[in-house]
Homo-oligomer: A and B are copies of this chain.
Amino acid sequence: MSSPVVYRTIREQIVEQLRNEVLSGEIAEGESLREQKLAARFGVSRGPIRDALLQLTQEGLLSAEPNRGVRVCGGPSLAIQPLVVETRRRIERFALETIFDRITAEDQRSLDEVLARFKTACERGDMKEVVERDLALHRWIVERVGDADLTAMWLQVIVRMRLRYTRHKSLLDSYREHKRIVDAVRKRDRAAALAALEANIV
- Chain A positions near chain B (C-beta within 8 angstroms): 8-9, 12, 50-51, 54-55, 58-60, 63, 66-67, 73, 76-77, 79-80, 83-84, 86-87, 90-91, 94, 98, 147-150, 152-153, 156-157, 160
Q: List 16 A-B contacts (CB under 8 A).
A: A9-B67, A12-B66, A51-B54, A54-B54, A54-B55, A58-B58, A60-B149, A73-B148, A76-B149, A77-B147, A80-B94, A80-B149, A83-B91, A86-B90, A87-B90, A87-B153
Bound complex: CA A153 to CA B91 (Å): 13
Bound complex: CA A2 to CA B94 (Å): 38
Bound complex: CA A65 to CA B155 (Å): 19
Bound complex: CA A50 to CA B84 (Å): 31
Q: In angstroms, how far is the closest chain B Cβ from the Cβ of A141?
A: 14
Binding site of A, secondary structure by majority: helix, strand, loop or mixed?
A: helix
Q: Which of A55, A83, A98, A160 has the most CB of B within 10 A?
A: A83
Q: In angstroms, how far is the closest chain B Cβ from the Cβ of A49?
A: 12
Q: In angstroms, how far is the closest chain B Cβ from the Cβ of A185?
A: 20
In the complex, besides A87-B87, A87-B90, 13 extra interface pairs with C-beta distance below 8 angstroms are A8-B66, A9-B66, A9-B67, A50-B51, A76-B149, A77-B149, A80-B149, A83-B94, A83-B150, A86-B90, A149-B160, A152-B160, A153-B157
